[in-house]
Structure 1
């Protein structure tokens, strides 16, 4: 059975456009990361620019345009240099040798110009090319190659992968390595994955009636769109709190719906569920599970669930294990992103969180519960299998 046409909420479109505008990356690259059509994203960007163009601005002269292009080029190079040096600072040792620098340049040569990296790391380009042609003992070369790949995977995971996930990623790429060996390489290279913080209870018992617990801590499902979980968390910014509501599909562990705002009123979770309903086929009679927060028990939200023929479910008050899948995602998000950043504005936080969810978590991050596969891959495998069965019938 063919998949229905994908639909997108206005909030999703706005955040996708912001990823293009704020990052300065091509539309094609951002569209590939988000898993959407390049033409679709290009249309959104063009519409946004038309809506925000200022007709009162005076046109730039030729010299001003030339100077603007120079400044934009300088800005791109400075941004690239800052990004590279930030990664280099995390990957290189406290006192890196010239060989360490050459190895890093070799790993990143597909991402940055070699001569620029040599200048940023204060090594000669000719020396680097001589190093790449220099033979080395087989065992040392294998170990150096393994360490290089481990460093690259660790950096690509945003310093979130431990030895088990890196070993799984190496196996998937055709480089078998035991968890023990990877752990030893990581220890010698000074690579340590970020650690989660302790859980803190935020739901307080109340008198509001709640649905029964239909999930009972079983966060598995036989197909997408049959069992969903949701929750709300908060992110600190210099402008104040930013609240995030999510909807997660238990089958693929994919975040199928989310919404962010400067408040945590009921419309926040309604917007998140609406996004989920537009992006995935929610089966009739599906279950949506949450805690007993007042937003989830509200009449307005219950009407939304009834409209989609979804049964509500809620765990016990203040018991995090009853909604551990949603809690686990928030713990991962904060451990791997939020607690490592400082957000001057809510917009910067929204952009970073959108990119984390849509690009990294859903499409790149290996999930141990899924056998070290990504949520997007697991979901696609299901749809491919069902399509093949339908075609065979």
Structure 2
């Protein structure tokens, strides 16, 4: 037997959501068609199907035990957290709301705001209003935010191909007079360019409506090719949602390091769980300035395209139907087939294949 070499093919890993939707596609179009569309092997689908059936065979008693065990663990965790809050916040228990809010801000990475507000006897809404008052941007920050929006908007309008000299002219035509150094500084600050895969990923979350209620979709898009490298769907917009999407991207891209992650300052991306994942894999969190939604304009553009081409005008009775539609649009159509204007009218996966050739 020959020893493995460094050139051996790296085994591809897939998230559970991906496996579930791949099996659903196989039920719809058949195993042979599904593996052709997704670039898989039949043995993979059959293996996933066997494991899914084994998991579905759990008895009702086992399920109830698991649910009860999880409930008791949550209850114990909540009680432990409350005791820890009391221990560290004993000195502020009899203080006014402002002092308690400051305590909550200082320990926001360690304790949940719901637990702290309950123990300290203050409202979460009051805490959020207090924190917002302290985050009002200065006049200079507001001017910089306006500039960054204009520059990023013009940059993406030119399909990410223009440098600062051309953007200066584009902005002047729009009635905004900035010199080249100012525009170049804005481009550098926002870190807009990507010359190869796995340099910059843009991330964002969108809402998808079904007759059963909302479904939330988080994506990560490679700014070089516009390929959706990671995605996740959930019924709640939590930190776990963006962590699942990031984990999928890491698996799909064979655990790259140093990738700049563009996102807004939403609580999911600021969460301790997401930041731990970023640091664990040596990534770089490049959050937008407060109020600037254009650092992840590429992700927003994808959401608009997906909704126009696959969702608007359709009725989705269940979240399951929406999951199937999103999966097929991303994995079958958008990444592999759909021609993208920013790629010279070729698909994201074709562009990356040409880059690697």
With the length of structure 1 as denominator, give the TM-score of the two structures.
0.55
Instruction: Specify the alignment match of 2:44 in structure 1.
Output: 40
Task: Identify the residue that residue 16 of structure 1 maps to in structure 2.
Answer: 22
Confirm or deny: 8 A CA contact 1:217 1:321 kept in the other structure.
no
Q: Quick check: 1:217–1:323 contact (8 Å CA) kept in 2?
A: no
Distance 1:293 1:28 in 2: 41
Contact 1:219 1:325 in 2 (8 A): no
Unaligned runs of 5+ in 2: 1-6, 60-130, 137-144, 146-185
Change (3 A) 1:48 1:299: closer
Change (3 A) 1:282 1:366: same
Would the aligned equivalents of 1:257 and 1:273 in 2 still touch at CA under 8 Å? yes
CA distance in 1, matches of 2:190, 2:329: 26
What SS class does the counterpart of residue 5 from structure 1 fall into? coil
Q: Which residue of 2 aligns with 1:232?
A: 205
Q: How many residues align?
A: 233
- In structure 1, C-alpha distance between the alignment counterparts of 2:135 and 2:17, rounded to whole Å: 31
From the superposition, tell whether residues 208 and 233 of structure 1 become closer, same or farther in structure 2 (CA, over 3 Å).
farther
Report the secondary structure of 2:226's partner residue: coil
How do residues 292-311 of structure 1 correspond to structure 2 at under 5 angstroms?
A: 292-311=265-284
Q: CA RMSD in A?
A: 2.8
Q: Secondary structure at the match of 1:318?
A: coil
| 2:291 aligned with 1:318 | yes
Distance 1:214 1:9 in 2: 35
Alpha-carbon shift at residue 377 of structure 1 (Å): 1.1
Q: Tell me, in whole angstroms, the C-alpha distance in 1 between the residues paired with 2:187 and 2:251.
A: 24
TM-score by length of 2: 0.60
Deviation, structure 1 residue 215: 6.8
Give the CA deviation at 1:219: 4.3
Give the Cα separation in 1 of the matches to 2:191 and 2:311. 28
Instruction: For 1:85-164, list aligned pairs within 5 A.
Output: none
Report the Cα distance in structure 2 between the residues aligned to 1:333 and 1:239, rounded to whole angstroms. Answer: 20
The Cα of 1:208 is off from its aligned counterpart by: 7.1
Deviations 1:108-145 (A, max 9, x none): xxxxxxxxxxxxxxxxxxxxxxxxxxxxxxxxxxxxxx
1:27 corresponds in structure 2 to: 31
Greater RCO between the two (CA within 8 Å, min separation 6)? Answer: 1
Look up the SS of the partner of 1:245 in the other structure.
strand
Q: 1:330 to 1:208 in 2, by over 3 A?
A: farther
Q: What is the CA-CA distance between 1:50 and the residue it aligns to?
A: 4.5
Query: Where does structure 1 lack aligned partners over 5 or more consecutive residues?
Result: 56-204, 386-393
Q: Does 1:4 align with 2:10?
A: yes
Does 1:332 find its partner at 2:305? Answer: yes
**Alpha carbons of structure 1 residues 214 and 283: separation in structure 2 relative to 1, 3 Å:** farther
